[in-house]
A and B are shown apart, each in its own frame.
Chain A
Amino acid sequence: DVKVTQSSRYLVKRTGEKVFLECVQDMDHENMFWYRQDPGLGLRLIYFSYDVKMKEKGDIPEGYSVSREKKERFSLILESASTNQTSMYLCASSFLLSGELQETQYFGPGTRLLVL
């Protein structure tokens, strides 16, 4: 069974703080993703990584950076948190199911971040 875990379920930080969100998957997946989820906006891709040390910007990378030093771990970094980064952050890894064309994504439980 695929397991994607995130370091915190809830996090409260102050404006200007550096914030680290950690994601770990135990299935040796190559692709990992960070999204933020806001009401009415669905899931918006921040960054994704297709291999160790490789990263690609998603739709909304501004104000974020990522790190993938090991295959199983993908970190999202808010260099200087701002109130508009208050959101639910979801990590995912993806895997090609037998017979499917494109990989499907397995999500972690999410981290609800509040920036004061």
Chain B
Amino acid sequence: GQQVMQIPQYQHVQEGEDFTTYCNSSTTLSNIQWYKQRPGGHPVFLIQLVKSGEVKKQKRLTFQFGEAKKNSSLHITATQTTDVGTYFCAGGNNAGNMLTFGGGTRLMVKP
């Protein structure tokens, strides 16, 4: 079945540094979604990418979908302590509304 791998598993950064998490799928995706889970919280939807090579921005967050629609990345510029949490990518396919989640990248920001 479809597998979605995410790296790194953990990342410590100093406040103000940039951060990137990478997501790779074993199969071509119809779309990729990103979720953020704050410590003690539940995953919250951030964004969905659909088109090959698509780039979307949300303030300091930049999301990319690869040309082959098998990988994606989330880049945060100048991290802040409010960025702390676990970021999950989730791959969708054309078989319905199921998502396959990556293992998540836990971001820790030192003030």
Interface, chain A (partner B; CB < 8 A): 31, 35, 40-45, 48, 50, 58-59, 90, 94, 97, 100-110
CB distance from A73 to the nearest CB of B (A): 18
Given known A-B contacts A42-B104, A102-B31, A31 and B97 have beta carbons under 8 A apart: yes
Is B6 within 8 A of A59, CB to CB?
no
Given known A-B contacts A42-B102, A43-B101, A48-B98, A102 and B43 have beta carbons under 8 A apart: no
B59 at the interface (CB under 8 A from A): no
CA–CA, A44 and B103, complex, Å:
9
B97 contact set on A, CB distance < 8 A: 31, 48, 50, 94, 102-103
A-B contact pairs, 24 of them (CB 8 A): A31-B97, A35-B101, A40-B103, A41-B103, A42-B88, A42-B102, A45-B98, A45-B99, A45-B101, A58-B98, A94-B97, A97-B48, A100-B50, A101-B30, A101-B48, A102-B31, A102-B99, A103-B97, A104-B33, A104-B48, A105-B43, A105-B99, A106-B45, A108-B42
B68 contact set on A, CB distance < 8 A: none
Is B6 within 8 A of A42, CB to CB?
yes
Interface, chain B (partner A; CB < 8 A): 1, 6, 9, 30-31, 33, 35, 41-45, 48, 50, 88, 90, 92, 96-104
Given known A-B contacts A31-B97, A40-B103, A43-B101, A107 and B6 have beta carbons under 8 A apart: no
Is B42 within 8 A of A110, CB to CB?
yes
CB distance from B2 to the nearest CB of A (A): 10
B41 contact set on A, CB distance < 8 A: 109
Within the complex, which residue of B31, B42, B96, B100 is in contact with A107, where a contact is CB–CB below 8 Å?
B42
Is B31 within 8 A of A90, CB to CB?
no
Closest to A108 in B: B42
List 6 tightest A-B contacts by C-beta distance, closest first: A42-B103, A107-B42, A43-B101, A102-B92, A104-B45, A42-B101
CB distance from A24 to the nearest CB of B (A): 15
Is A102 within 8 A of B30, CB to CB?
yes
Is A101 within 8 A of B31, CB to CB?
yes
Given known A-B contacts A101-B50, A102-B48, A104-B48, A90 and B88 have beta carbons under 8 A apart: no
A50 contact set on B, CB distance < 8 A: 96-97
